[in-house]
Amino acid sequence: MIKEFLPVSFIRALRSPYHFLWAFVGALVYGFPGRRCSVIGVTGTNGKTTVVHALHDIFRATGTSIASVSSLRFKINDREEPNLLKMTMPGRFHLQRFLARARRAGCRTVILEVTSEGIAQHRHRFIRFETGVLTNITPEHVESHGSFEAYRAAKAELFRALPAGGFAVLNDEDPATVGFAAATSAAVVRYGHSRIALPGMTFSVSVQEITPRSIRFTVGDIAFGAPLGGDFNVMNMLAAVAAALANGIPADRIAAVLARFQPPAGRLEYIIEDPFAVVVDYAHTPDALERVYETLSSANAKLVCVLGAAGGGRDKWKRPELGKIAAAHCKEVILTSEDPDDEDPAEIVSEIRSGMISPAQISKRNSGGQVPITKVVLDRREAIRTALQDAQPGDTIVITGMGAQPWFMDRGGKKISWHEAAIVREELDRNHKF
């Protein structure tokens, strides 16, 4: 290939204009549909999909013709298709084609899950974002961006693109979001455990209950409840509430929608609860993994954890961190393969395990402060089967990393159809123990 003979610095210099050009061509081919609708962009390290799905339901309940794109689905009003691209924010042509479809269906509002890599590749260009929602920022894609600060700066680009008449909905409690308010011309809306502050109006927030299966809180004098668990989902729901309030939707109507909200597949998804619980979750960053483990162990359940990390050279730094977190929370850890791509799964697992080996890292939150039982089962289905066989009544099996992703990216470019929850159910049915 020609690029093999070109200096790396030259290729890097061309990367941004190359992506910008294709973003322009994609928008041009489909008639710049993103400029003819009001777009809400949801970005952050974790929680984006949940917020997008909640906002779609909220706007749809008001009678709004709405479309949305998340890592799991494409949805226009009540009709949805799975996102099989293995890409949270679709490429320029896919995205512009969807926006054109939404326009033809009469949608005036579109909600997009926006990623830092999508922004770096200019996929957000030629789209009229009027509301930006920031869930949180913790280290991810650090290697591809070059640094955490560069990753953070990519997120900020969404808010720089907002117009003066738009809204920037910011997490009031995340120190990594400092400076985002100054970076935008839009009106700033802040949300957190104690308040939602809109321009000229502030609603008090009070959290009543958090369990692994449900949350309850109030916004002003309106009671909210949602059938999804964990404090991180309190913040996800508050982000959705804040964005909806900013766009003129009354709090009582928002509360009615969230009470019947169906959490996205693969996000703290319970498969069974007796004789032990089995939960599938997409958590694949250290912050997300710790929050999931903390939520599930809050009911004093002992955790049997199936854990891996993606290959392809992505975020190698986090692998020992994932191991360290698992050692602190799990009574048993089954290390397995997770989208190894072009890497050796055994080497990835070894890097995860390197974070587990120091007794000084073990927290008293796991089984008696002891080093957890650790097994290596590289075949992911077999690892799930092992967890089911090892679990005792009252335990919680936590299978993280894949969530509801439709493909398993194996070595040699092999793409395997995958449905983690269905595989768990198959293994449960095959095991006479249940």
User: pLDDT per position in the chain (434 positions), as tens?
Assistant: 454 555 555 455 677 888 889 888 989 999 999 999 999 999 999 999 999 999 999 999 999 999 999 999 999 999 999 999 988 888 889 999 999 999 999 999 999 999 998 998 989 999 999 999 999 998 887 777 888 899 999 999 999 999 999 999 999 999 988 889 999 999 999 999 999 999 999 999 999 999 999 999 999 999 999 999 999 999 999 999 999 999 999 999 999 999 999 999 999 999 999 999 999 999 999 999 999 999 999 877 899 999 999 998 778 999 999 999 999 999 999 999 999 999 999 999 999 999 997 554 444 445 455 679 999 999 999 999 999 999 999 999 999 999 999 999 999 889 999 999 999 999 999 875 55
What does 395-412 look like in DSSP terms, one character per residue? -EEEEES-TT-SEEE-GG
Burial 126-149 (b: 16+ CB within 10 A, else e): bbbbbbbbbbbbbbbbbeebeeee
d(CA 224, CA 207): 9
Domains of the chain: 2-258 (3.40.1190.10), 269-430 (3.90.190.20)
**Would you state the pLDDT for residue 362?**
46
Q: What angle do CA 358, 403, 313 make, to 5 degrees?
A: 60
**Would you state the pLDDT for residue 278?**
98
Model confidence pTM above 0.75: yes
Structure tokens at 117: 């890599």
Strand ranges (DSSP E) for 114-236? 129-134, 167-171, 187-191, 195-198, 201-210, 215-219, 222-226
φ, ψ dihedrals at 279, nearest 5° = -125, 135
Judge whether 303 and 365 are in contact, CB under 8 Å. Answer: no
φ, ψ dihedrals at 68, nearest 5° = -155, 155
CA distances from 248 to 37, 167, 235 (A): 17, 12, 20
What does 228-278 look like in DSSP terms, one character per residue? --SHHHHHHHHHHHHHHHHTT--HHHHHHHHTT--PPTTSSEEEE-SSSEE
Q: Say how many C-beta atoms besides its own lie within 10 A of residue 102's C-beta.
A: 27
**Would you state the pLDDT for residue 365?**
46
